[in-house]
Structure 1
Amino acid sequence: MIRVVLPPHLRGLAKAAHELELDVPGAPTLAGVLDALEERYPVLRGTIRDRATGTRRAFVRFYACEEDLSNEPPDSALPEPVAAGREPLLIIGAMAGG
């Protein structure tokens, strides 16, 4: 099981708990986690990544094990503590402006 923490606005949209557990088949990757998340919560399709291209939305960031994974290739393996379920993958809504 992969643990995922959503930001409050996506949690409210999906009517989901603060921390989710997702079953991701095969070796867990960021793309695999997002596929499982969107499968379980279809209302999130297009909110985290573009529906057509699959690229991360500009104001969404991914963190795990105190590392920014936002610019990693979507098919790269998640850190071992996340893959083992000991640490969560954090999906963060970034802020901008002045």
Structure 2
Amino acid sequence: MTAGEVRVLLPEVLAATAEGQRELTLSGADGLTVGSLLDALALRYPVLERRIRDETGMLRRYVNIYIDGQDIRGLDRQDSVLGSGAEVLVLQSIAGG
């Protein structure tokens, strides 16, 4: 990964909606927020977008996003700013019983 890039890590269940890729890299990360990152991903992977955010643009309640290990719910949520070289982990809770 080079300067100005952000790495997005997806679990297998979400990777299926991103052409099977478990790791995505976005360039031009300076000043990027989680929301603008998700907007950029939505252009490339619309099905992934629908799995992460609802029709109002809010994160689905069973989706957790971490920036360098920190839950964005403890930060500024979708307004959280991503630094160059940030690692964004998107997790989808799995229910079972």
TM-score by structure 1 length?
Answer: 0.78
Structure 1 position 97, deviation (Å): 4.8
Q: Residue 24 of structure 1 contacts residue 33 of structure 1 at CA under 8 Å; is this kept in 2?
A: no
Distance change >3 Å, CA 20–CA 13, structure 1 → 2: same
Structure 2 residue 62 is the aligned partner of structure 1 residue 59: yes
Query: How far, CA to CA, are the matches of 2:53 and 2:28 in structure 1?
Result: 18
Query: How far, CA to CA, are the matches of 1:19 and 1:25 in structure 2?
Result: 16
RMSD (Å), alpha carbons: 2.0
Structure 1, residues 36-86: CA drift from partner, whole Å, max 9, x if none? 1111112223210012x11100110001222111463312313xxxx211x
TM-score by structure 2 length?
Answer: 0.79
Structure 2 counterparts to residues 61-80 of structure 1, below 5 A = 61-70=64-73, 72-78=76-82
**Which structure 1 segments of 5+ residues have no match?**
none
Structure 2 counterparts to residues 1-98 of structure 1, below 5 A = 1-24=5-28, 27-51=31-55, 53-70=56-73, 72-78=76-82, 83-85=83-85, 87-98=86-97
Residue identity over aligned pairs, in percent, reads 39
Segments of 4+ in structure 1 off by > 6 A? none
What count of residue pairs does the alignment treat as equivalent? 92
**Which structure 2 segments of 5+ residues have no match?**
none
